[in-house]
Amino acid sequence: MKIILFGAAGLLGSAISRAASGDHEIIAFTHADLDICDSAAIDDAIRSNAPHAVINCAAYTAVDAAETDLEMAHSTNAEAPGKISEICAQSGCTFVHISTDYVFGGTAERPYPANASADPINAYGRTKRDGEVAALAHGNPLIVRSSWLYGAEHGNFLTRMLELMREQDELKVVDDQFGVPTHANSLANAILILIGETAQGIHHFTDSGKTSWFGFASAIETKARKMGLIGGCKITPIATRDYPTAAARPLYSVLDCSPTWAITGTPKAWETELDSALKIWETKQ
């Protein structure tokens, strides 16, 4: 299968490239290669390569900065996916767009199903939701929402925590926001399965289980210390109100993934995937 991949240098894009290696022909574009806001370049890339599928991993992901950098966030997260979807529909290839749990406001008390009403509470979430709507206006795209994505490469919660744990004796981490840490490698494999099964519409995929940011950080500290990666760091729970940020965060963004898992298979627990990511991170030190 020939797949065009936008945002190939990012955390998920890199994971998809690795997962697809050997089984698929990947035509990878980094931001330096191609700006997804450049409609003419997108059109040329898709029409000249005639792929089976186009995966868009490129996004404006600076959640706090999006509150003031609205034009760039909207161009990247909302306008570009709509244009890519339109070109894919005209070219007869599948468009796969990656979205986020932040399209929800966090007021639910049980996992959000894919058809739940979106009610984002920050600019990033609103632009991502606008991107979903724009993509769905053309053909039959596949939209995959995930949450709390991390991995052993690039800047993400796992790598930042490990760096801070090596530098500091104590970290304070929010304990009243709940979601599901998801290893980029898990999501990459799931996306390839969904494409192979010609899935359409909105799908949710995360690793299994749930926790808070404090629970995630505590697990990182415990596992990393036992592996000898850090010397030890005290993790102290705090409330969201004690850690003010420019953008509001949903207090609960666990996704109901059961329909997707029926296609991809139930993933491992997030704690188990964390073990895998830490082992990969260890080899890079």
Contacts with 32 (C-beta within 8 Å, 6 or more apart), sequence order: 9
Q: Quick check: is 50 in a domain?
A: yes
Instruction: Look at residue 222 in the predicted model and tell me its pLDDT.
Output: 97
Q: Minimal CA–CA distance to 268: which of 185, 145, 153?
A: 185
> Is residue 221 in a domain?
no
Domain count, the chain: 1
> Which pLDDT score, from 0 to 100, does residue 75 have?
98
Residue 191 CB: number of other CB atoms within 10 A? Answer: 28
Catalytic pick among 60, 102, 124, 150: 124
In a domain, 239, yes or no: no
Residue at 281 is within a domain: no
Residue 38 lies in a domain: yes
Label each residue of the chain as H, E or C. CEEEEECCCCHHHHHHHHHHCCCCEEEEECCCCCCCCCHHHHHHHHHHHCCCEEEECCCCCCCCHHHCCHHHHHHHHHHHHHHHHHHHHHHCCEEEEEEEHHHCCCCCCCCECCCCCCCCCCHHHHHHHHHHHHHHCCCCCEEEEECCEECCCCCCHHHHHHHHHHHCCEEEEECCCEECCEEHHHHHHHHHHHHHCCCCEEEECCCECCEEHHHHHHHHHHHHHHCCCCCCCEEEEECHHHCCCCCCCCCECCECCHHHHHHHCCCCEHHHHHHHHHHHHHHCC
pLDDT of residue 262: 98
Is 252 one of the annotated active-site residues of the chain? Answer: no
Structure confidence at residue 284 (pLDDT): 87
Query: How much is the pTM?
Result: 0.96
Dihedral over alpha carbons 147, 149, 155, 158 (to 10 degrees): 110
Positions of the chain with pLDDT under 50: none
Residue 242 inside a domain? The answer is no
Whole-angstrom Cα distance, residue 177 to residue 164?
A: 20
Rounded CA Rg of the chain: 18
Instruction: Classify 73 in phi/psi space as left (phi over 0), alpha (psi -120 to 50) or beta.
Output: alpha
Residue type, 26: I
Give 131's contacts (C-beta < 8 A, 6+ positions apart): 77, 78, 79, 80, 81, 82, 97, 99
Would residue 225 count as lying in a domain?
no
Task: List the domain range (segments joined by +) for residue 47.
Answer: 2-152+182-208+255-268
Q: What is the pLDDT of residues 74-102, one digit of tens each?
A: 999 999 999 999 999 999 999 999 999 99
Any domain includes 121: yes
Question: What CATH number is associated with residue 191?
Answer: 3.40.50.720
Per-residue pLDDT, 4: 98
Considering only CA atoms, which of 181, 198, 201 is closest in space to residue 271?
181
C-alpha 202/C-alpha 204 separation (Å) is: 7
